[in-house]
Amino acid sequence: MSDVIRTRALGDLVGDTFRIYVKDFFKLSGIVALANAIPAVLIFLWILTTIFSVFLHQMKPPLIPAGFEEEMPFPSGWWHWFIIILVVETLFAIFVYPLMNGSLIYAAVQANNNQPFRILEAYRSAGRRYGRLVGANILYGLVITLLSITIIGIPFALYFFVRWLFLPYLIIVEDTGIGDAFQRSTELVRGNWWRTFGILSLLWFLYFGVTYAFELIPMIGLFAVLLGIALPILTIGNLLLYYDLRARKAKEG
């Protein structure tokens, strides 16, 4: 068994996650920023528009031209921006996120193997599997969304969220088809659901912690958050967890 595919204690998994994240921070962040640029700009413009509209509404009447109050774009303009962002974010989640996520996974694999990689190389690798990544993402998201509609379905949504967590990792690392990815992810998580859920929860906690830390940085904090600079932490951590589960299943025989 290779040193890459091996079991890891929780401390080793977290430590290796941040080691890889820091070592290749700029390239990993570049992959995310390249995909998130358009949604980030739209959200930023929406924030500016909302702030400006609120500011104008709070101005004293003498400072606002006569008749201008009735023609103010707020709140209708606010909702126009909101709808545009909602549509863009939905399209992004369906068609762009799988490509970005696949690129991040490829980059994390290369970084974990101490192999060099380039941003466009990572996108090309994910692009060759684009149809499978999008297809798996749609099926995965559809099941989770439908189950989450009712309160009764939320526990089942959480169960399948964890059970099928490794779909894109299997498509990138093992080059599986969509059906095989669902089956393989189920096999990996079987008997390890609670452990997977616990580690995943910790990774999300660390992700939000790093995101909050970026928010504290003057001037660039907002852009770092909008561009999702901390997202590679989740991808790297999930990849190492995937390797860990593969190693454990191999030991079980």
Least confident of 105-114, 174-183, 226-235, 243-252: 226-235
Q: Mind listing the pLDDT tens digit for each residue in 169-219?
A: 999 999 999 999 999 999 999 999 999 999 999 999 999 999 888 877 766
What's the rounded mean pLDDT across residues 10-18? 97
Q: Mind listing the pLDDT tens digit for each residue in 53-109?
A: 656 556 545 544 554 444 444 444 556 666 776 777 788 889 999 999 999 999 999
pLDDT value at position 47?
63
Q: Mind listing the pLDDT tens digit for each residue in 138-151?
A: 999 999 999 999 99
Q: Mind listing the pLDDT tens digit for each residue in 150-161?
A: 999 999 999 999
Check the CA dihedral 148-153-158-164 and report its sign: negative
Q: Is the pLDDT of residue 252 over 80?
A: yes
More confident residue, 228 or 131: 131
Q: Is the pLDDT of residue 50 over 80?
A: no
- The residue behind tokens 């593969």 is 246
Percent of the chain with pLDDT over 70: 77
pLDDT value at position 53?
62
Q: Is the pLDDT of residue 18 over 60?
A: yes
The CA R_g of the chain, rounded to the nearest whole Å, is 21
